[in-house]
Structure 1
Amino acid sequence: MAEENVKSEIDSEAPVFHLQRVYLKDLSVEIPHAPEIFLDNTPPKLEFQIDSEDKELENNMVEVAIKCTVTCKLKDKVGFLVESCEAGIFEIRNVEQEQRTLLKGITCPNIVYPYLRANIADILQRASFPPVHLTEINWELFYQEKMKKSESNGKNNNKIEN
């Protein structure tokens, strides 16, 4: 009985990191110049912006969300505009604050991002466009750049633009 209590205490103090759920929080597709845009053979120019943020929830739960905007331009016209937000709920317990910050800034986005990429590729294909496969992101580098920007201008501005 005493061994069970000791084991229970050790287990209750062990670090915990669990993915609870990944979900599509928001998705919008606009094709402002349809149907004419489908007849335009101009080579498209793709632009994207991406940002991550986290929000503390109750009971050691954290939501980490990645927001992405993809714009396709053909000359001066917008071919399509996709705005998407993919999020995950994670349980992070018994983890030191520094490690917790790294989990929220690097590990969680690494888990959520493939779902975002797949949803954007899928919705564009369903909208009759070739799928756009977003490039891989080095979330560790993204996080480091985010921290540098945050320190230099006192804000938490961590957008990537391309």
Structure 2
Amino acid sequence: MSEENQAAENQPVFAIQKIYVKDVSVESPNAPQAFLEQLQPEFNIQFRNEARGFDNGFYEVSLTVTAQAQVEDRTVFLIEATQAGLFQIEHVPAEEMDPLLGIGAPSILFPYLRETVSDLTTRAGFPPLLLQPINFEAIYLQQRAQQAAQQQAGTEETTH
């Protein structure tokens, strides 16, 4: 019986402990003039994902979006929002940790971030900004390929 208990204790754990808004900033520097004009802004949207671990098997993963709407050289609005989650991760093989933190957790956080941004744009007096789905796996694999290419280039430079 103790072998079964020990086996159960060593099972991989990936559990959401908390999802929360960590930081929010909304600027509409040209309000109320922006509301009086028929604007067709261009959007610049950038994402950033960060993860940090704690000693007790908990990890905070945060997904940040910076969304700027501009017409010519005028900023219509600028929103920066960080959605974060506290995840318990235990007994997971080392080679699976990066994908969990770079793909799994951000995929869980993204719908919450999308809702936050949509709500913020509406509360700022603008039509909702709906963030399009993101393929976190493709981004993760692309970043790994770039890192491998950079390491390969660095190795070639030092061996010649």
Write out per-residue CA displacement over residues 117-144 of structure 1, whole angstroms, 9 at most, x where no aligned residue.
0000001101111000100000100111
Q: How many residues align?
A: 151
Structure 2 CA distance for aligned equivalents of residues 22 and 8 of structure 1 = 30
Q: TM-score, normalised by structure 2?
A: 0.90
What's the offset of the Cα at 1:7? 2.3
Of residues 6, 10, 14, the one that matches 2:11 is: 14
Q: Which residue of 2 aligns with 1:124?
A: 121
Q: Which residue of 1 aligns with 2:59?
A: 62
Q: What is the aligned-residue identity percentage?
A: 34
**Residue 121 of structure 1 aligns to which amino acid in structure 2?**
S
- Equivalences for 1:80-119 in 2 at 5 Å? 80-119=77-116
Structure 1 CA distance for aligned equivalents of residues 79 and 148 of structure 2 = 31
Structure 2 CA distance for aligned equivalents of residues 123 and 153 of structure 1 = 39
Please say if 1:36 is aligned against 2:38: no
What's the offset of the Cα at 1:147? 1.7
| Gap regions ≥5 residues in structure 2 | 152-160
Q: Which residue of 2 aligns with 1:159?
A: none
What's the offset of the Cα at 1:32? 0.8
Residues 91, 123 of structure 1: alpha-carbon distance in 2 compared, 3 angstrom cutoff: same
Write out per-residue CA displacement over residues 12-62 of structure 1, whole angstroms, 9 at most, x where no aligned residue.
111111011111000000011111111121311111000111101121111
| Gap regions ≥5 residues in structure 1 | 155-162
What's the offset of the Cα at 1:152? 4.2
Write out per-residue CA displacement over residues 80-137 of structure 1, whole angstroms, 9 at most, x where no aligned residue.
0000111111111101111111111111100011100000000110111100010000
Cα RMSD between the aligned structures? 1.2
Asked if structure 2 preserves the Cα contact closer than 8 Å seen for 1:42 and 1:75, the reply is: no
Structure 2 CA distance for aligned equivalents of residues 20 and 79 of structure 1 = 36
Structure 2 CA distance for aligned equivalents of residues 149 and 53 of structure 1 = 18
